[in-house]
């Protein structure tokens, strides 16, 4: 298969809420949602084998089958490595991680079957495994790449040192981590610095902090509302759009993964790409969320 350059849509559609544990959409509803999502210019769909108790990939595949969209127009991202006792996996007795050669290859091939596609654009190791052998993982990546079953590889929730260890053996294309205005750790712990160093664009899950405002101290809530009210008026934008634009402003080239099943919210996210926050806008949001100005 001819090598495709690594490129995702600026906004990524997360599928965790599609099935069990989420909105439990029907295949027909997913078909409609896929079409509406792609029509908005969002062409990347982020999945994981474990979503929906190991059922969401197959559910997405049923919806994809009737979407009538050329495979080359979209990008499928999925993750592997978590083994949890579920109805679909009764052989697992305890939740654990498996990043062995055999499991990575098996999981990728199983995802292809579930989704109904010949290749994955990107396969991520879902969580860092305390027992991971980077040489064995790199060997699995090489095998899947050589067979044309997976085009690119990355990781999710890896620390900079864990990323470095694997990246030295096989070139990774992303690190998908939790990042938002309310979860600023990747801006401070070297994660996004490393991405810029290697020209690797990170993906951000939970970009809207899952509405995590009410759990903040009252002082933070008030400072956030004041700062966001000013910026909402200045940019004619919603709070969610400002939070998305805040991530997009970073030079690492963050891909926000939007875990919604509502097309109107995806449309809002796309509009956020047009918002141009100034440095002072950006830092006013940082200051409000942290509760103090930068040193």
**Stretch 142-146: mean pLDDT, rounded?**
98
For 199-211, the pLDDT digits (tens) are 999 999 999 997 6
What whole-number distance in Å separates Cα of residue 260 and Cα of residue 266?
7
Q: Is the pLDDT assigned to residue 287 strictly greater than 50?
A: yes
For 98-126, the pLDDT digits (tens) are 999 999 999 999 999 999 999 999 999 99
For 19-78, the pLDDT digits (tens) are 999 999 999 999 999 999 999 999 999 999 999 999 999 999 999 999 999 999 999 999
Angle at 123 between CA 111 and CA 147, to 5 degrees: 75
For 217-239, the pLDDT digits (tens) are 888 899 999 999 999 999 999 99
What whole-number distance in Å separates Cα of residue 127 and Cα of residue 111?
17
* Number of other residues whose CB lies within 10 A of the CB of residue 49: 23
Catalytic residue among 18, 51, 54, 255: 51
What pLDDT score was predicted for residue 163?
98
Question: Which band of pLDDT confidence, cut at 50, 70 and 90, is reported for residue 4?
Answer: low
Mean pLDDT of the chain: 96
Question: Which band of pLDDT confidence, cut at 50, 70 and 90, is reported for residue 175?
Answer: very high
What pLDDT score was predicted for residue 2?
47
Is residue 88 within 8 Å of 119, Cβ to Cβ? Answer: no
Question: Which band of pLDDT confidence, cut at 50, 70 and 90, is reported for residue 250?
Answer: very high
Query: Which position has the token pair 């055999």?
Result: 102
List, in order, residues 6 or more apart from 177 with CB less than 8 Å away.
156, 157, 158, 186, 191, 202, 203, 204, 205
What percent of the chain shows pLDDT beyond 90? Answer: 93
Six-digit token string for 135? 């040489």
For 58-68, the pLDDT digits (tens) are 999 999 999 99
Burial readout 180-200 (b: 16 or more C-beta within 10 A, e: otherwise): bbbbeebeeebbbebbeeeeb
97 part of the active site: no
Ranges of each domain in the chain: 12-214+239-275
Q: Could you give the residue ranges of the DSSP H alpha helices within 68-202?
A: 101-115, 134-147, 160-167, 185-188, 191-197
Q: 12-214+239-275 architecture in CATH?
A: Alpha-Beta Barrel (3.20)
Q: Is the pLDDT assigned to residue 1 strictly greater than 70?
A: no
DSSP 2: P
What whole-number distance in Å separates Cα of residue 10 and Cα of residue 12?
6
Residue 97, beta-bridge partner list: 82
What pLDDT score was predicted for residue 210?
73
What percent of the chain shows pLDDT beyond 70? Answer: 98
CA atoms within 13 A on the CB side of 241: 21
What pLDDT score was predicted for residue 182?
94
């Amino acid at each position: 298969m001819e090598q495709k350059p690594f490129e995702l849509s600026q906004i990524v559609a997360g599928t965790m809420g599609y099935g069990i544990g989420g909105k439990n959409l029907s295949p027909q509803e997913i078909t409609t949602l896929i079409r509406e999502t792609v029509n908005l210019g969002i062409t990347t769909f982020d999945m994981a084998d474990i979503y929906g108790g190991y059922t969401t990939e197959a559910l997405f595949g049923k919806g994809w089958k009737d979407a009538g969209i050329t495979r080359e127009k979209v990008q499928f991202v999925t993750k592997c490595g978590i083994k949890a006792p579920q109805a679909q996996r009764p052989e697992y007795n305890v939740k654990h991680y498996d990043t062995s050669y055999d499991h990575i290859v098996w999981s990728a091939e199983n995802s292809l079957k579930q989704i109904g596609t010949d290749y994955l654009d990107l396969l991520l190791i879902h969580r860092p495994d305390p027992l991971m052998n980077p040489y064995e993982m790199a060997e699995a990546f090489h095998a899947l790449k050589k067979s044309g079953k997976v085009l690119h590889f990355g990781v999710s929730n890896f620390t900079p040192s864990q990323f470095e260890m694997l990246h030295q053996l096989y070139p990774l294309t992303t690190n998908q981590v939790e990042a938002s205005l309310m979860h600023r750790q990747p801006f401070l712990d070297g994660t996004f610095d490393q991405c810029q160093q290697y020209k690797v664009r990170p993906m951000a899950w939970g970009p809207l902090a899952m509405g995590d405002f009410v759990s903040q101290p009252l002082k933070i809530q008030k400072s956030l509302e004041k700062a966001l009210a000013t910026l909402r008026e200045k940019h004619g934008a919603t709070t969610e759009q400002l939070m998305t634009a805040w991530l997009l402003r970073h030079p690492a080239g963050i891909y926000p993964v939007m875990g919604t099943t509502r097309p109107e919210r995806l449309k809002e996210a796309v509009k956020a790409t047009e918002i141009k926050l100034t440095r002072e806008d950006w830092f006013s949001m940082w200051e409000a969320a942290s509760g103090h100005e930068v040193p």
